[in-house]
Amino acid sequence: MAAIAGLGFSAISRREIGTPRDLAIDAIIASVADCGLKLTDLDGLLVTCTPAAPPNTVPLRLSDDLGLGDLTLTGNIQVEGASVVAALQHASLCIRHGMAKVVACVFADAPLRPGQERGSAAYNRAMPLSGLGLWDAEHGLFGAAGAYALAASRYLHVHSLPDDAFGPYAVACRRWAADNPQAMLRTPIDLADYRDSPLVAAPFRVLDCAYPVNGAIAIVVTGCDRAAGLLRPPVYLHAFAQCHPGSGNMSGLEPELDSGARVAAQGLWRATGLGPAQVEMAQFYDPFSYVPLLALEEYGLCPPGEATRFVADGHTAPGGTLPVNTGGGHLSGFYLQGMTPVAEAVIQARGHGGARQSARNNVILVTGAGGRLDYHASMLVSPHAEI
């Protein structure tokens, strides 16, 4: 088993604050300093970035930038929104097998430029859904919001839910964000605010959608013994699982209700002997409000079709039985893809959440999801070596 020892942030902003490469450097320096190591202690570097970025946006040459040498592990891990969890899995396995001792995993993104500050402008690429090249763009399916809205509409239809069923999730996330100094959107909202927010790609409103930022986050992974002797409490990486169902656009398949999360969940339970009842907290990849609701159901944390009610009853909000996305998640915190839930899991597992810290942090589920639910990765982390 390996453990997370360091967590580092670059500046995070809606303004132009540097290239992803520069931001990645800042985050790696911060992550190493966070745990009391030096850059020269690193013998592994794994880079991740959004699939929307041009090649080499976060290059392997970061190792040269940082003056690293003789790395025994490097690579660019690209599983879209599942990349960060996948990178941590790769680092953990390599450490376990003696291929590296101290690995930095970094994600950096800078989608917001002057004149392109809105999420709809920053992420307006056509999302391939039909499998026919430019077909989806020709028909107007631009932005991830549209592709995910299609899935969300299916979820609402199958479960006979109203169009505003996702509102309580957005409200709960904002409540968490209010106590997170790093969250971008902290002003309290209620369901009336949700219903008044503009429609973007119905059923999604603005408040259903992630809040993009420019920034980077890095994680330092090392062996458990070494992590225990560093500055911060170790966050133990107990299990990883992945499932990538790919396109399911065929009669009889319901990829909008049955993503790779269901299979990944079984992998986590097999690896640990735990089950949904032992999960105390979840940090979900939540670029749109519907995604974590589906995850709640697929991981067995509530019955199928009951997630919106589960959230509306307050279970995932501050003081609830299953704290979810305690930093505000992608909707109210910030959208740094797979690093947003991972970073919050580290903060909560360490007990460093300040006003938003939850005592229910002994077993934390963390997910990453990419494509339009085509790729999924997850992990169980804990402040305890034994769970």
Partner 1 sequence: MSERDTEFHRRFEGFRARGELRYPSCPECGTILRYAQRLCPAHPLAEPQFLLASGRAKVHSAVDYHTSYTQDLPAPYRLGLIELEEGPRLLGILLSGDGAPIQVGGRVRVGFDEAGRLVAWPAEAGDDRAEA
Residues 41-60 that bind partner 1 (CB under 8 A): none
Smallest distance from partner 1 to CB 36, Å:
47
Contact map string, positions 2 to 21, toward partner 1, x by CB under 8 A? --------------------
Window contacting partner 1 (CB under 8 A); options: 19-27, 99-107, 174-182, 241-249: 241-249
What is the C-alpha separation between 186 and 177, in angstroms, rounded? 5
Give the residue carrying structure tokens 């505000």. Answer: 328
Q: In angstroms, give the least distance from the CB of 304 to partner 1.
A: 18
* 157 belongs to the binding site for partner 1 (CB under 8 A): yes
Q: Say if residue 83 is exposed, middle or buried (CB neighbours under 10 Å; 0-12, 13-18, 19+).
A: buried
Which one, 308 or 316, has the nearer CB to partner 1?
308
The bridge status of strand 102-109 relative to strand 44-48 is: parallel
Write the Ramachandran bin of 36: left for phi over 0, alpha for psi from -120 to 50, otherwise beta: left
Q: Please report, in angstroms and rounded to a whole number, the separation of the first and last CA atoms in the chain.
A: 13
Residue 122, classified by CB atoms within 10 Å of its CB into exposed (0-12), middle (13-18) or buried (19+), is buried
194 is catalytic: no
Site for partner 1 in 163-202 (CB under 8 A): 198-202
**Active-site residue 285, yes or no?**
yes
- Calculate Rg over the CA atoms of the chain: 19
Stretch that binds partner 1, among 79-87, 147-155, 327-335, 356-364 (CB under 8 A): 147-155
Residue 83 carries which DSSP code?
H
The residue from 18, 146, 333, 383 that contacts partner 1 (CB under 8 A) is 146
Does position 132 interact with partner 1 (CB under 8 A)? The reply is yes
162 binds partner 1, rule: CB under 8 A: no
The 44-48 sheet, strands edge to edge: 73-76, 44-48, 102-109, 215-223, 2-9, 235-243, 375-382, 364-370, 281-283
Q: What x/- string results for residues 202 through 221 when contact with partner 1 is judged by CB under 8 A?
A: xx------------------
Cβ 145 to partner 1, closest distance in Å? 8
The residues facing 177 across adjacent strands are none
Give me 160's structure tokens.
């006979």
Residues in the site for partner 1, rule: CB under 8 A?
120, 124, 129-133, 135-136, 138-143, 146, 149-151, 153-154, 156-157, 198-203, 246-252, 256
Enzyme catalytic residues: 285, 335
